[in-house]
Amino acid sequence: MKKTNIKDLTVGNPMSLILGFALSLFWGMLFQQLYNIIDTAIVANFLGKEAYAGVGATGAINFLIMGFCMGVCNGFAIPVAQRFGARDFKSMRKFVTHAIILSVIFAAVMTVIVSLNCRQILIGMKTPMEALDYAYGYIIVIFLGIPVTYMYNLLSGIIRALGDSKHPVQFLIIASVVNIGLDLLFIVPLHMGIAGAALATVLSQLMSGIMCLVFIIRKIDILKLSKEDWKTDRSHFTILLNMGVPMGLQYSVTAIGSVILQTAINGLGIDAVTAVTTAQKVGMFFCIPFDALGSTMATYGGQNVGAKKLEHLQQGLVAAVKLGCAYALVGFLILYFFGRSFALIFLDPGDVACLDNAHLYLIINSAFYIPLALVNIVRFLIQGMGFSMFAVLAGVMELVGRTLIAIIFIPMFGFPAACFASPVAWILADAFLIPAYISVKNKLKRIFNGQVEIY
């Protein structure tokens, strides 16, 4: 096998394995968020507050659709990780080809349906009229790029499933640098406006997807596909759909709660939208370690279940929780004392009301980072273990939490109530996920003791 960063996560010290894998993901996600901040700052500074709020108003619907794409691709990568852990490379390649076929179908159908209806969705979400055209101009281009989203997320997910978290990160960093350059080119000299910012995002993601494809073809011998690998098998389609669709729905169900919440916030006016957009941009930056741990645990869980190493899997969970809780405390302290300063990256110092609201949002959310850490770690671990449907149910719990806040408490208490929407959602999800993990682990223990295959 040619030299790559393919790594077996079923042997070795769990803390070292998880920390090493997660750190690679962290740097890539960090750079991507830095790009997002620069991207948003370019929009705010060159196109104005309405354009900035327009992009922010698309956040929930963007997450609803793109989250489904990412969730499906992550789910498709789980059987690949499990077969890699079991050293069944023939079946692993079958899963790769069948995942490609399904991704092409999903991408085509979603692009047509979503693109035709996105303006009506934005209107239904009560997007402020002064930001509506900006929101539509941005999101329609993003949605037309859905096939590119599938391409990158599927290929990078397959590479990570084999234990290589470094190369997808490197490709993402390169593409992000290009994205910033394209932003400036399209918006400043070419005057393409908000659509230019969206087009830059799509083109840079296409670049990262192409780099993943070239890397797989040139460097990963065990993924050299033959004509035999492309022969369709209903059982492989079934397994992939059982993994991918629930994970996609988990993102979408969670996002539906965000859409409902965003609609309630939109009703508070453009200043509230601006404050939340700002706080979420800063918060996403500080939540990168939780995202990295979650993605790590999906691969870790998949490989260890494939190798039938439940004790090693349990040790990994403990290590990840320790890492997540330690960072949660650090994140809260930083945002408590310096959150207002971070908000100034996007807001004018004279916009005192927006600054105060953004800082309040950051403080309240970061105070509940430990529940967020558990949501990411446990949910993705359960998914990696092969029980994706539990992710949907956890998403339902988050939906319930955000909907209650949006429908009942925001009309009563206004903006402060919106700050508690995500914390309530995380706590409700944890109340489901923790006992679900115990149940899943016991079920797998019974299966393995009986020497019964997972599939």
> Going along 56-204, which residue ranges are E strands?
none
- What's the helix, strand, coil split of the chain in %, to 5? 85, 0, 15
Between 140 and 127, where is the model more confident? 140
Quick check: 3 pLDDT over 50? no
Crossing angle of helices 14-47 and 270-286, in 10° steps, is 150
Per-residue pLDDT, averaged over 49-55, amounts to 72
Between 450 and 291, where is the model more confident? 291
State the pLDDT confidence band at 314, using cuts at 50, 70 and 90. very high
**Least confident residue range of 160-164, 287-291, 397-401:** 160-164
Quick check: 452 pLDDT over 50? no
- Residue located via tokens 């970061």: 366
Domain spans, the chain: 14-449
- Reading the block at residue 8, the tokens are 């077996």
What local confidence, expressed as pLDDT, does residue 51 receive?
76
What local confidence, expressed as pLDDT, does residue 5 receive?
61
Among 420, 322, 455, which residue's Cα sits nearest to residue 377?
322
- Reading the block at residue 7, the tokens are 């790594």
388 touches 331 (CB < 8 A)? no
**Least confident residue range of 105-109, 115-119, 237-241, 289-293:** 115-119
**d(C-alpha 60, C-alpha 54), whole Å:** 12
Residue 12 three-state SS: coil
160 touches 218 (CB < 8 A)? no
Quick check: 109 pLDDT over 90? yes
What local confidence, expressed as pLDDT, does residue 413 receive?
92
- Reading the block at residue 340, the tokens are 């207002």
Number of H helices, E strands in the chain: 18, 0
- Reading the block at residue 45, the tokens are 């500074």
State the pLDDT confidence band at 431, using cuts at 50, 70 and 90. very high
Quick check: 1 pLDDT over 50? no
Per-residue pLDDT, averaged over 132-139, amounts to 83
**d(C-alpha 199, C-alpha 203), whole Å:** 6
What local confidence, expressed as pLDDT, does residue 241 receive?
92
What local confidence, expressed as pLDDT, does residue 29 receive?
80
**d(C-alpha 208, C-alpha 275), whole Å:** 32
How confident is the prediction for the chain on average, in pLDDT? 87
How many residues are present in the chain? 455
- Residue located via tokens 């020497």: 451
Residues 6+ apart with CB under 8 A from 72: 103, 106, 150, 244, 245, 247, 248
What local confidence, expressed as pLDDT, does residue 44 receive?
72
SS3 of 113-150: the string is HHHHHHHHHHHHCCCCHHHHHHHHHHHHHHHHCHHHHH
Among 134, 424, 53, 66, which residue's Cα sits nearest to residue 261?
424
- Cα distances from 294 to residues 262, 317, 411, 439, in angstroms, run 25, 11, 34, 20
367 touches 422 (CB < 8 A)? no
Quick check: 373 pLDDT over 90? yes
**Percentage of the chain with pLDDT > 90?**
45
